[in-house]
Structure 1
């Protein structure tokens, strides 16, 4: 039975391979009539790659995929690797190699690589289909930033469309937001309120004269994410790092105290405005006081790439630097997770909201939901987190309160789109997985 299954799989693989080769040849002949060979051949190879992508997912590895196509990332990977190998391999072969052996290497190397890539793609598809379904937690950032943000976040929570939010204790409407949320939590104790640590804008919680390196002439926090990241690269005993870290610790302590004053004394779940808590120098300062401050949870932004999105969404992610933010925060999250684990804190077992930050609506929201729902539950982690920034139309100038960086973001019409998208998000268990 095993031999029969293997022979069937091998036969299907061969048939799809022959079909892809035919597509390559026909496309090359047609394109070669009107364009140079060096352009026609890569395009023909792309057509052949697409044919094998569809054929192997629908036929060769149908058991693993259930008849659905592979995630598009495998097509991109296969095409990129094969182009690179086909370009470099002829140059790398030794001159003394016989012609027959050279032809064999050039023909069979891509064949072996393709077999490995499509086999990995099939296992990836099988894991996604077999994983236990986990309902993600829907989370909104920036409670307290404005009355408009408070309105949307509280309305979503009242409708049962949010599981948690993060409070900007230095926001212009922090007291209003905290009071409204805590009133809701009396009837829904599972609602989570996190401390949204803010170090890049807004008024400080510590006395400005105690943190001169952290504030500008107007007395507002002004160090950007990039500046905090650069500070992390300085040696630990560098005079500037030592001086700024001591002020950073004062500001973190003051924001924790302000959060406890608004919410009451209990364990603290913490994340960061603009994900500042993941910057190494900030993360270390937070973890150093986790025990004394009662911090038990830190947010991770370890975000899997979603599948099934139209190409326009990926173009938007590249254009708006979402892909760059995702890459930076992936690296910082991977580094942070080890430290969080060593300190005995918990974190979320999945995340979505950086790659398409500010545009979590429509296709991107649904794709993120499906991706998080397919993740395997981990005992040491909380449920995956779906992050958005909903808000009603902004009717105040946040720059006056020191939130110049957030002004344009908060005014965007996407804040209302995210509100409506979360409001309309219907959780149907049978649709959790692709």
Structure 2
């Protein structure tokens, strides 16, 4: 059975340095898709790079960092300074019922429309910055918006056997398991709105310094075997001759602490060399040989539309 691996570079547009690294990974055949942030200092540069290359363009929906794209003065989605509330701040307020979901709908619509203005067409896929697209309260609005714009693809961030990967930083474990649980609950919502995802997913456990060739090989093969096993017992999928897996990655070059990003600079991950490390691992001869030996073809999200 053919195995199609969709390798996505997240945070395209964050800065010129991030863009440089993503394009280097693309030109080396290490990634095929990139998810665009619309409210960053490198957004316009990223748009130009999309237009001059075959890199598959997606939207990285952002409700947690920087300033909104929409021109409405939101009351509950942002701080008094008109800045998103952050990865944990927004989740906390959503859980407490303190966010007006009409504002969520308006900002999602504004970002899709802005993307269309910049690229001239709808994104091939939309995923969520910091996985915000699967958050309860957001996911229903998100799925309906994609369906309305005839966008058929999103990310399903469920990486199996995360607890059996001892290298994962315990600091992130609870967040990762929360993401997986919310994604599983989002699945029927995506299905109802005719939104497709890859058969499997990897990348939570292999970000930055946690990425090595051996670990990547392990999680990718594990994901494909799991997908093939599930397919074998699903009659509606037994006619297919392939399985798909999305690998989430974060290639790039370090962004300065005081410039780039969301106008005020970068966080520790953005400033570190961990993203260069990802480029080196992803584009290594070791990984390219692994793909050949295991009947894996690196592709873009467009494979899911066939």
TM-score over 0.5 (shorter chain): yes
Q: How does 1:188-337 map to 2 (within 5 A)?
A: 191-207=55-71, 210-225=73-88, 227-228=90-91, 231-232=94-95, 234=97, 240-241=98-99, 244-266=100-122, 268-305=124-161, 314=166, 316-321=167-172, 323-337=173-187
Partner of 2:19: 150
Aligned 1:173-188 pairs, distance under 5 A: 173-185=42-54
Taking a change above 3 Å as real, the CA distance of residues 306 and 233 of structure 1, as seen in their structure-2 partners, is: closer
Q: For residue 4 of structure 1, what is the aligned residue in structure 2?
A: none
SS at match of 1:184: coil
Q: CA deviation at 1:226?
A: 5.5
Task: Report Cα offsets for 1:152-204 as digits up to 9, x if no partner.
Answer: 1111112222111100011210110121122112xxxxx42111001111121
- Are 2:202 and 1:352 aligned? yes
Conserved 8 A contact 2:21-2:253:
yes
Alpha-carbon distance in structure 1 between the residues aligned to 2:149 and 2:264: 27
Identify the structure with the greater strand proportion: 2
The residue that corresponds to 1:363 in the other structure is 214
Structure 2 equivalent of residue 384 of structure 1: 245
Q: Secondary structure at the match of 2:46?
A: helix
Q: Provide the C-alpha distance between the structure 2 equivalents of 1:408 and 1:382, rounded to a whole number of angstroms.
A: 36
More helix by share: 1
In 1: Cα distance, 2:200 partner to 2:261 partner: 36
CA distance change for structure 1 residues 411 and 281 in 2, over 3 Å: closer, same or farther?
same
Structure 2 partner of 1:414:
274
**1:298 match: secondary structure:** coil
**Contact 1:201/1:402 (8 A) holds in 2:** no
2:64–2:86 contact (8 Å) kept in structure 1: yes
In terms of mean alpha carbon deviation, does 166-175 or 225-234 score higher? Answer: 225-234
TM-score by length of 1: 0.59
How many residues align? The count is 282
SS in 2 for 1:334: helix
- Cα displacement (A) at 1:133: 4.6
TM-score (norm 2): 0.82
Measured against aligned partners, the alpha-carbon deviations of 1:217-268 in whole angstroms (never above 9, x if no partner) come to 433212434533652464xxxxx44xx2111111111111111112222354
CA distance in 2, matches of 1:172, 1:389: 17
CA deviation string 1:288-313 (max 9, x = no partner): 22232222111101112279x9xxx6
Taking the aligned partners of 2:162 and 2:144, their CA distance within structure 1 comes to 34
- Where structure 1 has 5 or more consecutive residues not aligned to the other structure, the ranges are 1-131, 186-190, 235-239
> CA separation in 1, counterparts of 2:292 and 2:140?
39
- CA RMSD in angstroms, aligned pairs only: 2.8
- Larger radius of gyration, structure 1 or 2? 1
CA distance in structure 2 between the partners assigned to 1:198 and 1:349 by the alignment: 24
Q: Secondary structure at the match of 1:385?
A: strand
Cα distance in 2 for partners of 1:289, 1:221 equals 20
Determine which structure has greater relative contact order: mean sequence separation of CA pairs < 8 Å that are 6+ residues apart, divided by chain length.
2
The 1:419–1:333 alpha-carbon spacing in structure 2 relative to 1, beyond 3 Å, is same
Ranges in structure 2 where 5+ consecutive residues have no aligned partner: 232-236, 297-306
